[in-house]
């Protein structure tokens, strides 16, 4: 490598390749169909609501709050690795070249999220405020500038304070940026400028403190490891990530669930599989996340066909992934020492998956109780899950 810019370029290409490798499994055909229906249903509901929204709806403070929070979350993507704490020490005085590239990518990879949220809110602003088209796009430009400032600010705070009490820094930036956005949406430009200057002054303090300090390698490496681990955990819901090991939690508050699977000789495998499902983060949160998404759609989307398609697709995804996850335990287990039938675990997995899916069907069905023909959603979840469990490989 000729310089640190080449180091960044090499790592960035490896990072993009790693993300693309798993994204092709995440955005598969059925997920794309679900997303299309979700976006379409959400857009339809939003447009219908705009027709009846009241003129005194507090659009400015609500949008300012949401944008302010999104602007405050500006975690830097450094792509630093653990060996860098040793091998990059001789180049510490030149690390600004590396971090300049890292912060540029951080900005461009995060600004679009805030931009999309603001663009979605533009019809609401036109419906309940007196903002002109020029004013609306001026605020958009302000958001882009504030995001750039926020990215620089969070990096300098983490650099100077080693990430301690980062939530305090984010809270302060969220308040300052939220106030700036509120005044901008109210077309009070002088007050918005004052708030923005206060934010810049606050960030400049930590920028000055970071000058001359050693690079916080340990903090940035840990931050990068946590960021990639979060991505791998998400990808693991859609495909197997070989180097990912799910964490186990006691979850004592769910001990009462074990009463439904008595601890007896005949229930050896069923009891073991059920405890594995409840205590393993990957399994439990997979079921919980997809159940919550399906329940929210059932509760707020009043287009039955959309609700049924989404509930069926998420029921399929939950069943097949949960079944494969519970069957894929290839390591040695104590139950292998006992004379149990060979297919005992397969039967137990099917029973536990059935319990989980019946529970999901009940939650989703009750969530849509105010919608027309809500009981059909319950039936669809049960039928799709049963067919998926029977037709998928054991």
Q: What is the pLDDT of residues 76-124, one digit of tens each?
A: 999 999 998 888 888 888 898 999 999 999 999 999 999 999 999 999 9
Residue 248 pairs with which residues in a beta bridge?
Answer: 280
Q: Give the C-alpha separation, 363 to 382, whole Å.
A: 12
Q: Give the C-alpha separation, 196 to 181, whole Å.
A: 9
Backbone phi and psi for residue 83, each to the nearest 5 degrees, phi listed first: -65, -20
Are 350 and 268 spatial neighbours (Cβ–Cβ below 8 Å)?
no
The pLDDT of residue 368 is: 86
The pLDDT of residue 14 is: 93
Task: For the chain, give every domain's residue range.
Answer: 4-234, 252-391
Instruction: At 178, list the tokens.
Output: 């939220």
- Could you report how far apart the first and last alpha carbons of the chain are, in Å? 49
Q: Give the C-alpha separation, 178 to 182, whole Å.
A: 6
Q: Look at residues 44, 188, 62 and name the one whose alpha carbon lies nearest to residue 121.
A: 62
Name the pTM for this structure: 0.75
Question: What are the per-10-residue average pLDDT scores of the chain (394 residues)?
Answer: 81 92 75 74 85 89 95 95 88 89 95 95 91 92 96 95 92 95 93 93 92 91 90 74 69 80 76 85 84 88 83 88 77 59 80 91 90 86 90 70
Q: Give the C-alpha separation, 270 to 15, whole Å.
A: 41
What b/e readout covers 91-104, taking b as 16+ CB neighbours within 10 angstroms? eeeebeebbebbbe
Q: What angle do CA 12, 17, 22 make, to 5 degrees?
A: 130
């Amino acid at each position: 490598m000729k310089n640190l810019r080449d180091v960044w370029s090499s790592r960035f290409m490896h990072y993009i390749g790693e993300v693309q490798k798993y994204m092709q499994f995440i955005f598969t055909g059925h997920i794309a169909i679900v997303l299309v229906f979700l976006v379409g249903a959400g857009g339809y509901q939003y447009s219908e609501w705009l027709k009846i929204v009241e003129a005194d709806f507090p659009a400015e403070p609500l949008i300012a709050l949401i944008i302010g929070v999104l602007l405050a979350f500006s975690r830097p993507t450094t792509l630093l690795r653990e060996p860098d704490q040793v091998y990059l020490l001789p180049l510490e005085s030149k690390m600004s070249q590396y971090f300049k590239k890292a912060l540029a990518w951080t900005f461009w990879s995060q600004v679009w999220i805030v931009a999309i949220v603001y663009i979605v809110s533009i019809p609401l602003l036109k419906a309940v405020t007196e903002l002109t088209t020029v004013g609306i796009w001026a605020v958009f430009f302000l958001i882009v500038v504030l995001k750039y400032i926020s990215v620089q600010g969070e990096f300098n705070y983490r650099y100077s304070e080693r990430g301690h009490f980062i939530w305090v820094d984010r809270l302060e930036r969220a308040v300052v940026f939220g106030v700036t956005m509120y005044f901008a949406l109210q077309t009070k430009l002088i007050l918005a400028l004052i708030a923005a200057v206060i934010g810049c002054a606050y960030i400049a303090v930590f920028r000055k403190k970071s000058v001359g300090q050693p690079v916080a390698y340990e903090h940035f490496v840990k931050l990068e490891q946590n960021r990639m681990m979060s991505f791998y955990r998400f990808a693991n819901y859609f495909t197997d990530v070989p180097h990912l090991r799910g964490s186990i939690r006691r979850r004592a508050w769910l001990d009462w669930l074990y009463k439904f699977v008595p601890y007896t000789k005949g229930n050896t495998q069923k009891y073991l599989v059920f405890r594995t499902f409840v205590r393993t983060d990957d399994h439990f949160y997979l079921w919980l996340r997809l159940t919550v998404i399906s329940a929210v759609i059932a509760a707020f989307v009043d287009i039955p066909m959309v609700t049924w398609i989404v509930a069926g697709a998420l029921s399929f995804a939950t069943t097949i992934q949960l079944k494969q996850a519970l069957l894929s335990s290839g390591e040695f287990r104590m139950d292998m020492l006992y004379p149990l039938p060979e297919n005992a675990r397969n039967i137990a997995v099917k029973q536990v998956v059935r319990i989980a899916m019946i529970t999901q069907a009940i939650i989703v069905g009750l969530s849509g109780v105010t919608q027309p023909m809500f009981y059909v959603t319950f039936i669809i979840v049960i039928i799709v899950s049963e067919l998926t469990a029977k037709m998928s490989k054991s």
